[in-house]
A and B are shown apart, each in its own frame.
Chain A
Amino acid sequence: MLTIAEKEQIEHEIRQVPVKKAACIEALKIVQGHRRWVSDEGIRDVADILEMSPEEVDSVATFYNLIFRQPVGRHIILLCDSISCYVMGLRALHQQLVQLLGIQYGQTTPDGRFTLLPNPCLGTCDHAPALMVDDDLYRDLSADDLEAILAKYT
């Protein structure tokens, strides 16, 4: 069930748009903002409040790379896998991350600390290779930098 805070925020978004459905992405972002991911129950709740079918809401939720339909870790690592980063050493960075975390793309560490995701172009190609952890951008990386970066996130 949506919390009062979630409901109020979604109602606020509904008031900004001419038709309720248009608040769908914002509503999903709100639910994810509170719970880190959007469960089937979250989809049904959003559908109810927006007077949509759950399937319709799910079709939107699953379209976007950064709406998570399964549980994620406390910290999201977005590794830029685009062309400039590829040229500048993505492979080594990826291998090192996989080794340090013991997981592949799309997986979460067993302790729930990190989820590792590939991300199309972080738009910092002049400082490739790059990655983001939550809201923090790290650029001009080498594989040696990764251990210290990960250590910042508990």
Chain B
Amino acid sequence: MERPLTQHITFPPLGLRQYEAVGGYQAVRKAVRHMEPKDVTALVKEANMRGRGGAGFSTGMKWSFVPMDVPGPKYLVANADEMEPGTFKDRWLLEGNPHQLIEGMIVSAYAIQATESFVFLRWAYKQAAVEIRKAIAEAYDAGYLGKNILGTDYSLEMHLHTGVGRYMCGEETALLNSLEGKRATPRAKPPFPQVSGLFGRPTIVNNVETLSYIPHIVNHGVAWFQSLSRTADGGTKIYGVSGRVNKPGAWELPMGVTMRELIEEHAGGMQNGYRFRGVLPGGASTDFLVEEHMDVQMDFTGVAAAGSRLGTGTMVVLDDRTCPVGFVHNLEHFFSQESCGFCTPCREGLPWTEKLLWAIEQGKGREEDLALLASHATLLGPGNTFCALAPGAMEPLQSALKYFKEDFEQHIKHKKCPYHD
């Protein structure tokens, strides 16, 4: 089975010459010398490459919204802020093969004719910062970055920006505000960043995994990309599993593997003494799936049909010895803390949700709290808030109320957490 994204991941990662020796930077050569920018976009669009950051929007489609005839600078940004709890896939790509990301960024920037590019990297990824800084310098020295790349008319600058910690920075418009030196609050859309983004200029923000894939699509084409997948969503995907499984980890697998394969085969099943109860299929902001969903294919359509989202494809397993109320409280604490406070439902609603859950977990919950929590799940849901943070926060909550209702009721009835002394 082919694993284009991860086959050359090593620690320490390949240097530029080693990366070139395994075919690295061929996609840059091909794109800037032999392809029109619009042809690169068309190729990615035709491949049905869907963004790997969580939302799953068509990458080629996103690029095609960039107005190509406007004079002045355009920007490309790699979203390497990975702060979604339970998600650790991009760290692997950033630390293990930084040149692959940089190559993907150059090709993508060429497609939209960006003149400057940024890697927006979170503070905690210290080793990734070291590797990326080094790889960018090597790419400049080799003529893949800077003025007149490979002797062509195309020029691109690349900068590494390290963040200062805030989950909101992962939201693309908030990320742009942060890059502009401001608070990372989201912007109203439209205008979309593709038209008016960084410093008011056309800007594309793509996830690290998405960008890392671009050189492979350019090198091998649409049919190859689609052949890697088991479903209509092309390519492979980096999946991960954490929690009380025997072998937590991340694996590059065909898009559309089942949850059962991931948990039982790759993650080695549940640890001795622990039973599977549920899973967040794609990070903290996705709805729980449970035992009955074991054979769901983990692609965008399959997980949505089961009532959740593929999200980042990195799963967090809930076992039978972890309190579901405590689990959800932990998630809502995170979202409440990380809310930017910009819109009222999120600013007020998330702390309220968190306090209700804490009270229930502490045995101080009241019967009416469950209806209150359910109403929050609606009031903070899609369409009622400025951005997707609060709706994302409500996904695990609403599904926990559905699948683990008896646990909530037990807490309230017996005035204590049944999982702790």
Taking beta carbons and an 8 Å cutoff, which residues of A are in contact with B? 16-19, 21-26, 28-29, 59-60, 63-67, 78, 81-84, 86-88, 119-128, 132, 135, 137
Contacts and interface: CB of A to CB of B under 8 A. Distances in A.
Given A28-B164, A87-B322, A137 B126 contact: yes
Given A21-B181, A60-B183, A83-B316, A119 B250 contact: no
A21 B183 CA distance: 12
Contacts of B181: 17, 21-26, 60
B72 to A, nearest CB: 11
Contact of A65 (B85, B165, B333): B165
Contacts of B318: 87
Contact of A86 (B82, B248, B330): B330
A66 B330 contact: no
Given A83-B327, A87-B327, A123 B91 contact: yes
B138 interface: no
6 contacts: A24-B182, A28-B164, A29-B164, A63-B184, A125-B85, A125-B240
Nearest to B247: A126
A125 B87 contact: yes
Interface stretch (B117-125, B148-156, B296-304): B117-125
A23 B159 CA distance: 14
B83 A123 contact: yes
A15 B30 CA distance: 34
B396 to A, nearest CB: 9
B326 interface: yes
B165 A66 contact: yes
A64 B166 contact: yes
Nearest to A57: B181
Contact of B280 (A59, A83, A123): A83
Contacts of A78: 124
The 8 A-B pairs at the shortest CB distance, nearest first, are namely A65-B165, A82-B85, A24-B181, A125-B242, A66-B165, A64-B164, A126-B248, A84-B242
Contact of B243 (A18, A28, A88): A88
A48 to B, nearest CB: 16
Contacts, number: 131
B284 interface: yes
B61 to A, nearest CB: 28
Contacts of B322: 86-87
Nearest to A60: B183
B90 to A, nearest CB: 8
B382 interface: no
Interface in B60-113: 82-88, 90-91
Given A25-B181, A123-B124, A126-B242, A87 B84 contact: no
A81 B330 CA distance: 8
A25 B322 CA distance: 39
B319 interface: yes
A61 to B, nearest CB: 9
Given A86-B327, A87-B244, A120-B337, A126 B284 contact: no
Contacts of B314: 125
A5 to B, nearest CB: 19
B180 interface: yes
B338 A120 contact: yes
Contact of A123 (B88, B183, B184, B333): B88
B186 to A, nearest CB: 13
Interface string B181-213: 111100000000000000100000000000000
A85 B333 CA distance: 14
Contacts of B182: 21, 24, 60
B243 A87 contact: yes
A63 to B, nearest CB: 4
A91 to B, nearest CB: 9
B86 A121 contact: yes
A132 B330 contact: no
B316 A87 contact: yes
A139 to B, nearest CB: 11
A13 to B, nearest CB: 9
Contact of B319 (A59, A87, A125, A135): A87
A132 B253 CA distance: 30
B158 interface: no
B197 to A, nearest CB: 13
B226 interface: no
Nearest to A118: B337
Contacts of A124: 88, 91
A132 B123 CA distance: 11
